[in-house]
Amino acid sequence: MNARYEASQLRDFASALLTAAGLAPERAACVAEVLLEGDLLGRTTHGLALLAPYLRALDEGTMAAVGEPVVEADHGSALWWDGGLLPGPWLLTRALDEALARLDDHPVVTVSIRRSHHLAALGAYLERATAEGALCLLTATDPRIQTVAPFGGVDAVLTSNPIAAGIPNGDDPILIDISTSLVSNAGLWQYRAQGQPLPGRWLRQGDGTLTDDAAAIDDDPPATILALGGEELGYKGFALGLLVEALALALSGHRRPSPEGGWSEGVFLQLIDPERFAGRRNFSDAIAWLVAACRASRVPEGAPPVRLPGEAARRRRSDQRAHGVTLDPATLDKLAPWAERYAVPAPAARS
């Protein structure tokens, strides 16, 4: 059974390890906060489970501990940065803050970043924008990884290519965070590590047959993940995956195949101020009606009520802040050598 931990203790533990590994304290605190938010929202594959890989990347020099993003172009409402392999959570948080500040002068602000290190859970950033009344579009991808075949194909070209969006709605924003494949890479690797079958035949093997065996990703040739929509409707997920490639890679000057090893993501961030279009009141009224209508939709007998994207995650975060964050023991096991190396006490589970 997974133990529960105080959120503040997990954040401080992660921040202390990252600081000991070479990040400035304010950058370490930012990365720790984003990783913790992933766990709070239930994105456990993209929460503190990433801390050990991040520490290893800092140790090996594949994540830059110091430096600033290089501004390749600045057109006021459009920014293009080279992230220089700086920590993704810190880099994207900085980009968000810059974009929010520029919404005072522009109705739409877009930031394109090449060569960011890993970003963790995209959903962890959305409320930073929606809290300010901004509509947020966010996507990213790593050109080093190829696990998803184009619809109808067998050979991998793309990866799970996530898309996230935050839609302001007062204290109840709509938070969208999905991959454009049937399962994310991290989710697939988790099934493989646990020796569990996938919930469905979500992989296509080299001979074209489908399988629910997550370990088939290690075959020669490797199986590929089906695009969102599966064998019948995967052309839709494939189309969305191509959109991610255009926004996150092509716009940022990144491309496949990646010319360098290790994490090196392309990022697309766009903030929209509803006030500069039909006005914030019109936007708010429209979204409030939509949310109410969706929740009022009848469901089959015995089925739970309709819920909006992000609703369950926000409820889970509230529960975990009150009663402790559930953490897989394997996460702390992988962090134990780093805690010993840097003499950082591990957090104690709640009694």
- Position 146 scores a pLDDT of 94
**What pLDDT is stored for residue 259 in this prediction?**
66
% pLDDT > 70, the chain: 99
Return the structure tokens found at 244: 């991610």
Burial of 231 (0-12, 13-18, 19+ CB in 10 A): middle
Tokens representing residue 225 in the block: 């993940």
Average pLDDT over residues 154-175: 96
Buried b (16+ CB within 10 A) or exposed e, 94-121: bbbebbbebbeebebbbbbbbbbbbbbb
Give the sign of the dihedral formed by CA 279, CA 164, CA 27, CA 46: positive
Confidence of residue 291 (pLDDT cuts 50, 70, 90): very high
For the stretch 72-121, pLDDT in tens is: 999 999 999 999 999 999 999 999 999 999 999 999 999 999 999 999 99
In the chain, the domains with their CATH numbers are: 3-182+226-280+311-342 (3.30.1370.60)
Give φ, ψ of 145 to 5 degrees.
Answer: -105, 135
Q: How many helices and strands in the chain, by DSSP H and E? A: 10, 12
Q: Rounded to whole angstroms, how far apart are CA atoms 105 and 114?
A: 25
pLDDT given at position 2: 79
Residue 261 pLDDT grade (very low, low, confident, very high; cuts 50, 70, 90): low
What local confidence, expressed as pLDDT, does residue 257 receive?
A: 80
In DSSP notation, 282-318 reads: HHHHHHHHHHHHHHHS---TTPPPP--TTHHHHHHHH
Helix residue ranges, H only, the chain: 7-20, 25-40, 51-60, 88-102, 126-130, 185-194, 230-244, 280-296, 311-323, 329-342
What was the pLDDT predicted at 263?
A: 80
Average pLDDT over residues 123-132: 98
pLDDT surpassing 70 at residue 1: no
Query: Omega into 257 within 30° of 0, i.e. cis?
Result: yes
* Whole-number pLDDT of residue 262: 75
Average pLDDT of every residue of the chain: 96
Q: For residue 255, what pLDDT band results from cuts at 50, 70 and 90?
A: confident
Residue 36 pLDDT level (bands cut at 50, 70, 90): very high
pLDDT at 24 over 90: yes
By CB atoms closer than 10 A (0-12, 13-18, 19+), residue 239 is middle
156: tokens are: 């991998």
For residue 287, give the amino acid letter. Answer: I
- Using 50, 70 and 90 to split pLDDT, how confident is the model at 281? very high
Percentage of the residues of the chain whose pLDDT score is greater than 90? 95
The model's pTM is 0.95
